[in-house]
Amino acid sequence: MNIWMVNHYAVPPDVPGETRAFGFAEALNRQGHDVTLISSAFRHADLKYCEAVQREPKKTAWLESCDGVRFLWLRASPYGGNLRRIWNMAEFAIRARFDRSVRDLPRPDVIIGSTLTLFAALAACRLARMLRIPFVFEVRDVWPQTLIDFGISRWNPGVILFGMVERYLCRNARAIITLLPASIGHLRACGALCEIAWIPNGVHLGLAPQPQRPPGYAPFTVVFAGSHSQANSPATLVQAAATLQSRGRHDIRISLFGDGPLKSHLREDAVDRRLNNIEFKNWVPKTEIFKVYSSADATVALLQDVELYRFGMSLNKLHDYMAAGRPVLFAARSFNDPISESGCGIVVPPEDPVALADAIEKLAEMPLEERWKMGLRGREYVEQHHDFDILAAKLEDLLRRTLRRFDESARGQSACTAESGVR
């Protein structure tokens, strides 16, 4: 199959950002398919243009191979605030639909459009319609419900517009991939009549070496890696650090790797509280991040306490933590919970710094051998359920079924047209 994936934020693993699309493309290429990722040349994770733009700044599109995966980078305007970000989304979608560089690619058999932005998925849908091939809708977030659950009025014009686009995509998809296991009812309510498959995030096990036994010496180190944004509730971690320091636990240290809109505020808060048990470090590429995890004793992931997660979640970092073979502290309330299911860590309520501090202390006091076995359970779980090769095989099967149904439908329509002509 020749497959196009339209994903606004897709990047290779040596730069910050979303690597799910890369993982699937790499695995599908190994299975004999031809995959092209159509992505924005301006990266959301670090607000920088990709290297191709720096080499040839006057172009609007750049086709290159990144670690064996073909990317078509499309120019989209830089941004810092929300209004310019919306324009960036719209500009990328317009280029994805109309830019000559897209039309010059070898004709695909199927197009996958991801809702990292609804505009990108809409462009993919319209491309598929123009080319008369099936459109597969990948649901990463439930729009516009995400906005509503984070406090925006359901009568906001943007929310209404997003709802209209979501319903259009559900009704016109030939298949739907969802990362949220409890979202199927919502998608049906939006008009989806096609097959819906749950395919969660995966792990690049080629980048994740076999776990090594934790260091076991003081201080006990807990690592957070990812965006310092409201959705990941990093303020809870800072407050937990303050609680631990007030208890005199100077043998515990918390390290946050990454960047995001809240980082400067979090750092200032830690200084104001005079915390000496927490540190903020720069982003580390996925090709190097497992070295960071290996030097830690435990990892931590957090989510806000919002109704949105009743649909489930699929955090990239969570599966990477598990692949590293370190116990995971998970401060969240979600429909699905791989930490409890695998027995590889401790789950506490979201936005509860005292409960999180208690869990960190419990892990710190746990015998090293017990923590080691806990971490290995996580590694075994992702090897069985989240290896990109396994997930890509599921995606391949879904795409083949979708193409077969599409061809049968086209033949049926042709037969009806021919019969009508005879009459």
Q: What is the CATH number of the domain that holds 235?
A: 3.40.50.2000
Q: Is the pLDDT of residue 371 over 70?
A: yes
pLDDT at 422: 46
Instruction: Look at 211-225, 246-260, 283-297, 403-417 and tell me which has the smallest mean pLDDT.
Output: 403-417
pLDDT at 47: 81
For residue 208, being part of any structural domain is answered with no
Same domain, 408 and 291: no
- Print burial letters for 360-381: b (CB count within 10 Å at least 16), e (below 16): bbebbebeeeebbebbbbbbeb
Instruction: Name the more confident of 376 and 157.
Output: 376
192 CB-near residues (< 8 Å, 6+ apart):
170, 171, 173, 176
Show the tokens assigned to 116. 């990292």
Same domain, 197 and 238: no
Q: Is the pLDDT of residue 315 over 90?
A: no
Same domain, 52 and 180: yes
Instruction: Look up the domain containing 127 and give its range.
Output: 2-202+388-416
Same domain, 187 and 106: yes
Contact between 96 and 6 under an 8 Å Cβ cutoff? The reply is yes
Instruction: Name the more confident of 209 and 236.
Output: 236
Same domain, 177 and 269: no
Contact between 9 and 39 under an 8 Å Cβ cutoff? The reply is yes
The DSSP string of 211-228 is P------SSEEEEEES--
Condensed to tens digits (0 to 9), the pLDDT of residues 129-183 reads 999 999 999 999 888 777 787 778 888 887 888 889 999 999 999 999 999 999 9
Same domain, 395 and 300: no
Condensed to tens digits (0 to 9), the pLDDT of residues 104-144 reads 999 999 999 998 889 999 999 999 999 999 999 999 988 87
For residue 212, being part of any structural domain is answered with no
| Residue from 114, 70, 110, 111 nearest 92 by CA | 114
CA dist 241 and 278 (Å) reads: 7
> What's the total number of domains in the chain?
2
CA dist 200 and 110 (Å) reads: 20
pLDDT at 286: 82
For residue 42, being part of any structural domain is answered with yes
pLDDT at 148: 80
Same domain, 195 and 160: yes
For residue 214, being part of any structural domain is answered with no
For residue 379, being part of any structural domain is answered with yes
177, with CB counted inside 10 A (0-12, 13-18, 19+), is: buried
Return the C-alpha torsion angle 259, 263, 267, 272, nearest 10.
Answer: -170
Same domain, 74 and 18: yes
Same domain, 87 and 42: yes
Same domain, 271 and 295: yes
pLDDT at 260: 84
DSSP H stretches of helix in 99-212: 100-103, 118-131, 145-149, 157-172, 184-189
Same domain, 144 and 11: yes
Q: What's the pLDDT band for 206 if we cut at 50, 70, 90?
A: confident
Same domain, 177 and 256: no
Percent of the chain clearing pLDDT 70 (strictly above): 97
CA dist 111 and 127 (Å) reads: 8
128 phi and psi angles, rounded to 5 deg: -60, -40
Q: CA triplet 156, 161, 166: central angle to 5 degrees?
A: 125
Q: Is the pLDDT of residue 318 over 70?
A: yes
| Residue from 372, 334, 395 nearest 30 by CA | 395
- Please give the model's pTM, rounded to 2 decimal places: 0.90
Q: What's the pLDDT band for 285 if we cut at 50, 70, 90?
A: confident
